[in-house]
Each structure stands twice: as C-alpha cells, then as structure tokens.
Structure 1
Amino acid sequence: MTTFILVAGAHTGGWIWQEVAARLRESGARVCPVTLTGMGADGPAAGPGTDLETHIDDLLRLIDELDAPEVVLVGHCYGIYPVLGAADRRPERIARIVHLDAGMPQHGDQALTLVPDEAVRERLSRRTGADGDDRLIPPPPLEAWQRWGSVAGIPSSALTRLTANAVPQPVGTLTQPLRLTGAVSALPSTGVLCTGNGSSIAMVEGLVALGDPRLRALTEPRVTFFELDTGHWPMLSRADDVAGTLLRAAAGEGHRVTAAVSEQPAHLRPFLLDVPERRRERIGRVDLHFPGDLSDALPEGLPDELQADLPDGLRHGNLPNGLHADLPDGLSEAEGPWPAVVFVHGGPVHPDVRPTPRDWPGFVGYARLMAGLGAVGVTLDHRLHDLADYGRAAEDIAEAVDLVRADPRVDADRVALWFFSAGGLLSADWLAAPPPWLRCVAATYPVLAPMPNWGRVDSRFRPAVALRSTERLPVVLTRVELERAEIAATVEEFLAAAKECDADVEVIDVPRGRHGFETTDHSGQARHAVERAARSVWGHLRG
C-alpha cells in the first residue's frame, strides 16, 4: 500500500487536498495531507523563528512516525522546498518525489523567488532577521491569486474558499536557503506540469535540447512527466485527475524525456535558406555580419589558384530567390553606412551551453540573409540565463544597440530589432518608448507575456501593455500554426491589445510551422514566411 504525504504551497495547508485525498483513499492508498507549522489551525502555531527548517522538521517527524514501506512525497509550489529538504535527509524512506506544478530548487535556493511582487522580494531579501510586524506575509486577496499562478479551471466557490482559508506565510520559510547534501538527487521523481500555468512537456524537451547542464538529470530513466490541462491549483480544479496521476506516478508511469545524443539538436541544424557566408566581425558578445561577400575581407593580391579554390558564394553574394527585387537601386556591396538589424535570442540559456546563441545556424542564417539585402545583421549573446535575468538581458541588448549604432559603417538612424521565442518579452522596453532611429520591431514565434508561473519576471516586460503607448512603430510578427498552447495565448493577448490601440502589426503565418521552424522545416511555406518577414523588415529600414 502506497502512502502519500501531500504538502501544499504558500498560504495553504492540508485542507486544500481534501478532494484529492478522498479519491486516493478510495483507491486503497494511505494519505497524509500536511498542515505545516503556521499554515493553519490544524497545525502547530508559528513563532518568530519559524523558517524552512521548521517545515522540513515537520515532515521528518511525520516520516519517522509512519509505519510505511513506500512513501511518496508530493510537493505543490512552495511545498517542494520542505519536501526536498526532508527527502534529502531520509532518502531510504522515500519511494518517489512528485513535483506538482513545482520547480526544481537546488541547494542554496530560496523560495522567495516564488513571490510575484518584486518590491516585496527586494525588501525581504535585505532582511537580516524575521522579527517585527512583517514576519508574516499576508495572503493575496481574491482578485490577486492569479499573480501567484493561473487560476484557470478553479470554480468560483473553490477560489472563494481558497481566499477564506489562506493564512499568512512566515517570512523565514521563504528567505532561508534550502540545504541539500545531494542524496535526494538519486531518488525517482515525477513532474506534473500544469499547461494552463505555462508548463508543458514540450517546453521541458525544448530546454533539455538546448544542452542546459542543470536539466541533464531530467533525461534519466528515474524521472517521469505528466501534463494536466489546468491552472496552478489542480487539486481545486481537477481533483480526480490529480489523484489518478499521483497513483500512476507512484507506479513509475509517465512520459520520459530522452537526450537523443546521436541526433543533432534542432537548434543546431542548418538554416532553411541557402544564404552565402558574409564577412563577420566579433566585438565582445556581439557579431556583425556585413553586406558584401567574404572576398571583401580577403587579403589583397590572393593568388588566382587560391581564388579558384574558394567555395561558391564567397566571391558572389547570391540572394535567395524572391529577394533580388528588394535591393536598392545602385547598391554597392562595398559601400556604407548600412542600416542594421539586431537579432535577440530567447532563453533562458545556461552560460555553459556551447555553441552560444550568436553561433546557432538559425541566427547566423537570419543575419546573413539581411546582410544579403544590404543591412548589417547583428547576432549577440545576452545574459538571460535564468527567469530572474530579464533586467540584465535588457541592459545587454541596449549596450549592443549602442555599440552597433556607434560603428561608422552603420547608419545609426536606421535600425530594427528582431526578437525570438522568450526573447519576445525584451521587446517591451522598445515598444513602450521607441527611439526615432528604431524603424521597426520584428518578433518570430515570440513569447509576448510572462507565463503565469514566471513570477520572477519584472512586470515591465509585458509587450501587450507596452504596445498601447507606442507611436505607431511597425511590428512584424511571425506566428506558427503549431505553436505551444501556452505561448500562443500570449500572442493572442498581444494581438488583441494591438487591435484595441490600432497598432501597426503585420502578421505572417507559417502553416504547419512549429516553434524554431527555421532549422526543422525546410518546406516552401516556411521559406516563404522567412523571406516575407525579411522583405518587410528591409522595407521599413529603407523607408
């Protein structure tokens, strides 16, 4: 008989598992919904010293008291912190850990990152103690729960009950770092991803494919995944499905993510257009791909026999079909200054991933494509290594743009910014206050609003909100038909805002296209979409 220990998220206690626990018991399982210290009337009262270790001790006492051969620890949201802490100290008693719409905190991490209010996070991070009136964080009011996670699927009566039963969270439980020895990392685990809250198996597989070393463990056979099509509180919205999923997880079922070592990762496959190599200069984290061909950069007087050995395209900058007509009259490939297009990658991308994004075939291909039209194509590596890094990444982009505009070979009054995937959030600053030299913003399969579970992302990075204040800055948006549902919803939100404020947004659809299609789909429709987007951006630069 499996014993489930259910640990709730912030501001809640054992009561939130009532319906799930009933279904599990009906199946013959033993169930222990836990109310941690300070988290409800049926648990111990909190004191000034209540912290994460207090909650870990609560679980250790329960595990030690249980006469159970097989314990499955289930942590929802904040609950995964004490769950991992307890499992790390009693690994021999734990059969499996279930992350129910919860992250993967590591040694030294704080649950403070879950708090959606940046000002509160900043204030609490500077605290040296937990004394005084603010040692408890009040729960959100009814209308603010969605800031802690998607409330999709929760009946209004259950949301009202959540608000009524929620209790203040002891500050120390969020600010004290998690201490792990590493023993927990060998235990079987299951991730239950709530798609309505911005997580999916496809997203996990995409991140694993990028080569992030932190996610390598997710490809091990002991790790499984399930999806639930609901918001962040599935125990309130889909109790039956949660119970069934937990039983299947305990049995070792679920989807397994594999690392296909023999196959080239999707982001490192060739670009869908055959674009000739261009002269490239590397300055710090920025690469500039110049109009013209590589012969411009070759030493003068190269012997004829060596010239003949150069690959096709190094001496002749052939453009992809359909783009010849867009070259300005009389353009000389050796002349400048040229306009520039700065390509902004998504992420998060771990700093140890190699090659870095500016060398990925897709971005290099786009840069060469624009160089073929007569613009400097700029690729860069920004430091979006974690969801909390959007501010730092925005600074990197601003610095890169300044560097490009200061180059005498660039026309500083004709620049475009082109954003991809989760880099789409970084367009918000430019949409909110577009400088006169910014001729257009482009976005390809972009994320245009933070996912509900991206609590650490500053509220300023909301392109749909920023769009309302822009002064008719043209936007070229490439949308893929087979986009992940959680990302497609952010695009629809953006387009609804664009319609409201009559923004100048051109939408280019890619039939049957997927996220990252430029290196996985070499169909005529995909190529046409990329060429059309490039022509549109070039047109705005020329205008």
Structure 2
Amino acid sequence: MATFVLVHGGWFGGWVWHAVSGELRRLGHDVSTPTLTGYGERSHLLSPAISLSTFMDDVLGVIRFEELHDVILVAHSLNGPLAQGLASLQPSALKRLVLLDAFYIRPGERTVDAFESGFTAGTQAWVDAAGEGWFVPRMEPDQGSIDAAEGRGRHAAMPWTPYLEPVTVQDKLPARLPCTFVLCTEKTSSPADTAILASAQRAREDGWDTVELGSGHVPMWTIPVELARLLVDLAGP
C-alpha cells in the first residue's frame, strides 16, 4: 500500500481530486487531499494574513497528525513550487515528489517567477483592481467548458501573496529523493501552458524524471483512472 498526499492547484480545493482519490483507495492505497487555507471549503478563512508558511503548515500538519510516512507528494499546477519547498524542508517524510503539469522554480525564486513577467504583471493588475491587492478573484469558467461542468461553481477566490514569496528550495533535490515531473501534452498557446512547458524543461535539465500524459491541464477530471494508475506506477513497490 502506498500513501499519497495530493495538493490541488489554483482556485481549487481538495475536492478536485475526488475521482482520483476514489480510484486510489479502490486499489488499496491511503490518500489525503488537504485543502489549503483560503481555498475551497476553507474559503471562509481567506485573509491577507495567509502566507507561504500557512500553506506549508497546512500540508505538514496532515503529514504529522495523520502520522504519514513514505509519502508520495503530488502537487498540481500553481502549487508545484509549494511542494518543492515542502520536499526541501522534510525530504525524510517523502518517498517521491511528483509535480503534475505544475510550475517549477529554482532556489531563490518565487512561484510567480515561473511565469513570463508580462503575465505576472497582468495578474497583479487584476488583483489590485478586483482583489484588494492580496487575493485573486474567483475564476468564472466559460459556459460549456470542462471547468464549468466539473467545477459546478466551486472555483473560489484564492490568496495571492504566498505566491510572491521566495520558496526555500533545495538545489539538486533529485539527489535527495526521487522526483518526477508529469507533463500533460495537450497544450495551448496560453501563458500558463507556455510556462508549464518551460517548467518541464527546467526540471528535466535539473535531473528530474519526466513522464508525458495525454491530457489537458486537469487530468483528474478528464482521465482520473489513468492518472491514478500512473501515480501507483510512480509509487513503485
């Protein structure tokens, strides 16, 4: 039996993993899907006091109080750098780190440094105009999109300031524990997809294993069974 901790991306919450966690449990594995403070069912806690340390405490608290060991830590999208920081802080608690179509940073960088500067500036302008300078407003998916169909109104506003903080990331992290970048191959020319492609390349240059997955950015909705089985394969014996 493997132990998985699945960390959601931006605008989501632990709920986004429902189908994947169900399949992993059906296969006999232990799964935790923490929701970061200010997101999802914890959106009532959204405040300007939320920091990167808050997020780290959210995940480390689950690992500590659930007494989890040999964790396969999986992080999606915007919270890839958070997972890199967690793995750098407590590598002994982990068996493998997996970034799922996520942003990737190097030592001394912030999460937003994975983006093109123009995209970061545009997001900051949106935050300043509609998010009081500290939160990203709720995403409104296009009608008929998979985000609308699967999200069903659950995309929430999210903290912004944690992503402006430098993340303490260990150099040459793959020398300390196995690290895998899962790249979803169905990409567009959007700034986010462009940044993720660049992140995958940087991770590969830094010694990470890279696996390709035939899906768009949210495989937990489009191919949850296949994603769960890939994670089981990555967990190993």
TM-score by length of 1: 0.38
Q: 1:216 to 1:137 in 2, by over 3 A?
A: closer
Structure 2: which 5+ runs fail to align?
none
| Map 1:28-427 → 2, pairs under 5 A | 28-42=28-42, 45-113=45-113, 118=118, 121=121, 124=124, 133-143=132-142, 156=145, 159-162=148-151, 164-182=153-171, 184-185=173-174, 186-197=176-187, 215-218=204-207, 223-251=208-236
Deviation at residue 163 of structure 1 after TM alignment? 6.0
Instruction: Check the 8 A contact 1:7/1:14 in 2, yes or no.
Output: yes
Distance in 1, Cα, partners of 2:159 & 2:76: 17
8 Å contact from structure 1 (residues 35, 43) kept in 2: no
2: CA distance, partners of 1:84 / 1:10: 16
Greater relative CO (CA pairs within 8 A, separation 6+):
2
Write the letter of the residue equivalent to 2:77. Answer: C
Query: Which string of whole-angstrom CA distances, capped at 9 and with x for unpartnered residues, describes residues 316-373 of structure 1?
Result: xxxxxxxxxxxxxxxxxxxxxxxxxxxxxxxxxxxxxxxxxxxxxxxxxxxxxxxxxx
- Measured in 2, the distance between the counterparts of 1:115 and 1:103 equals 8
Q: CA RMSD, aligned part only?
A: 3.2
Aligned-residue identity in percent: 27
Partner of 1:479: none
Contact 1:38-1:46 at 8 Å conserved across structures: yes
Q: Report deviation, 1:173.
A: 2.0
Structure 1, unaligned stretches of length 5 or more?
A: 145-154, 253-543
CA drift at 1:46: 2.5
Indicate the larger mover: 37-46 or 20-29. Answer: 37-46
Give the structure-2-normalised TM-score: 0.81
After superposition, the Cα gap between the structure-2 partners of 1:53 and 1:44, relative to the gap in structure 1 and judged at 3 Å, is farther
Residues 1:18 and 1:120: Cα distance change in structure 2 (over 3 Å): same
| Separation in 2, partners of 1:43, 1:34 | 13
Distance 1:231 1:215, change over 3 A: closer
Which structure has the greater CA radius of gyration? 1
Q: Are 1:4 and 1:72, in contact at CA under 8 Å, matched by a contact in 2?
A: yes
> How big is the shift at 1:93?
0.8
Amino acid at match of 1:234: P
Q: Give the 3 Å change call, closer, same or farther, for CA 56–183 of structure 1 in structure 2.
A: farther
How many residue pairs were aligned? 225
Mapped partners of 2:229, 2:70: distance in 1 = 18
Displacement of 1:196:
0.1
SS at match of 1:165: coil
Separation in structure 2 between the aligned mates of residue 68 and residue 34 of structure 1, nearest angstrom: 13
Q: 1:163 to 1:138 in 2, by over 3 A?
A: farther
**CA offset at residue 32 of structure 1?**
0.4
Distance 1:175 1:15, change over 3 A: same
Question: Deviation of residue 156 (structure 1)?
Answer: 4.3
Q: Give SS of 1:134's match.
A: coil
The letter for the 1-side match of 2:167 is L
Give 1 or 2: higher helix fraction: 2
Structure 2 distance, partners of 1:40, 1:50, is: 14
Give me the whole-angstrom Cα distance separating, in 1, the residues matched to 2:113 and 2:219: 21
Q: Deviation string for 1:481-509 (max 9, x for gaps)?
A: xxxxxxxxxxxxxxxxxxxxxxxxxxxxx
Q: 1:108/1:173 Cα in 2 relative to 1: closer, same or farther (>3 Å)? A: same
Q: State the match for 2:5 in structure 1.
A: 5
Question: How far apart, CA to CA, are the structure 1 residues paired with 2:44 and 2:172?
Answer: 28
The AA in structure 1 aligned to 2:139 is P
State whether residues 88 and 183 of structure 1, in contact with CA within 8 Å, keep that contact through their aligned partners in structure 2. no
